[in-house]
Chains A and B, each alone.
Chain A
Amino acid sequence: MKLRNGGLIVAAIILVVVSLVIGGRREGAEFAGADGQAMKAVTALHPDYQPWFSPLWQPPSREIESLLFALQAALGSGLLGYYLGLRRGQSRRNKQDRADAGD
């Protein structure tokens, strides 16, 4: 199982790296967000469209934005890691208890 999960994670990392290399070779590749490109496509289709509402608050700089994205990822992975670590410990202890009881 460990081997299989490791393989899956390596496959995911390879996909990211290969995407980065292939994508980087494309002309005009800037690795801009697809969401932003779709909004540009909207303005291209309907040049007269004006967004009628703007965000209540915007991160004041790219740094603050990346801080918040990193915070989001950190909170998520922290909680996920806590859960998995807790259950791993519990399942080991249960196994140990069962083994002890069997003696």
Chain B
Amino acid sequence: MHIAEGFLPPLHAAAWTAVSLPFVMVSARRVNRLMQDQPQFKLLLAASGAFAFVLSALKLPSVTGSCSHATGTGLGAILFGPSVMALLGTIVLLFQALLLAHGGLTTLGANVFSMAIVGPWVAYGLLRGTQGLNAPLAVSVFLAAMLGDMATYTVTAGQLALAFPDPASGVLGSFIKFMGVFAPTQLPLAVIEGLLTVVIVNLLRQYSSDELRDLQAFPRLFTVEVRP
């Protein structure tokens, strides 16, 4: 989902930056407040960011014969609510843009929007929605993380389609083309992201049940302590 440096026309780059900036600013304030009001969560928040750091660094092979990577932003969205992930995702993307020439500064706004904003919000929405339907927590978490990942790549395809419409079939034709590049490759990776997120949530429920109980985002979800 990394749109490479310079690969969005200046107008699009500026527009996506303008869209993402308020989310990142609100996120920074929320993270700041969380640190002040509930400093006991510092480490869990850092661990959620770390999860995104690992998963977005691992390029995995896919059935299509190409490689892609997961996003890892679902976990933090599930634990802390989606708004804190905008800041954490931006840090990950900045690291990759500056040190790895992966993504870029001009495309940072667009990449933040797909990976650090839409992905987490979709994950959060799915978690709440499926919990409302009384799905088992593991199923909810799996779907949230997996479809949050897919949503990120769908947004990237949309961003590229808007910037580069197909001369014959327009934005829609271009969107289908970019989805053809991303979606089949991403699907098994999104499943992997879902599975790993469930593993981490299982471990958290086992070892950090007291901490999860105090989380503001989903206190109810995690109150049932799971013992082996």
Report which A residues bind B (CB closer than 8 A): 1-2, 4-5, 8-9, 11-12, 15-16, 18-20, 22-24, 26, 28-39, 41-42, 45-46, 49, 51-59, 65, 68-70, 72-73, 75-80, 83-84, 86-88, 90-91
Contact = CB atoms under 8 A, between A and B. Distances in A.
Given A2-B228, A38-B156, A79-B46, A56 B68 contact: no
Interface of B: 1-7, 9-10, 43-44, 46-47, 50-68, 95-102, 104-106, 156-157, 160, 163-167, 174, 177-178, 181-182, 185-186, 188, 191-192, 195-196, 198-200, 202-204, 206-209, 211, 226-228
16 contacts: A9-B195, A12-B196, A23-B64, A31-B67, A35-B102, A36-B4, A38-B156, A38-B160, A39-B3, A53-B6, A59-B100, A73-B54, A76-B51, A76-B55, A83-B47, A88-B207
Contacts, number: 194
B62 A41 contact: no
A76 B106 contact: no
Contact of B106 (A53, A59, A73): A53
Q: Is the interface of A mostly helix, strand, loop or mixed?
A: helix
B177 A45 contact: yes
Contacts of A54: 5-6
Contact of B164 (A15, A29, A30, A45): A45
Nearest to B177: A41
Nearest to B59: A33
Contact of A73 (B3, B44, B58, B105): B58
B192 A28 contact: no
Contacts of B101: 55, 57-59
B57 A33 contact: no
B203 A12 contact: no
B199 A9 contact: yes
B44 A72 contact: no
A68 B100 contact: yes
A34 to B, nearest CB: 4
A76 B98 contact: no
Given A55-B5, A91-B206, 17 more contacts: A1-B227, A1-B228, A5-B203, A9-B196, A19-B62, A20-B61, A32-B67, A35-B2, A35-B4, A45-B177, A52-B9, A54-B5, A72-B56, A78-B50, A79-B47, A87-B207, A91-B207
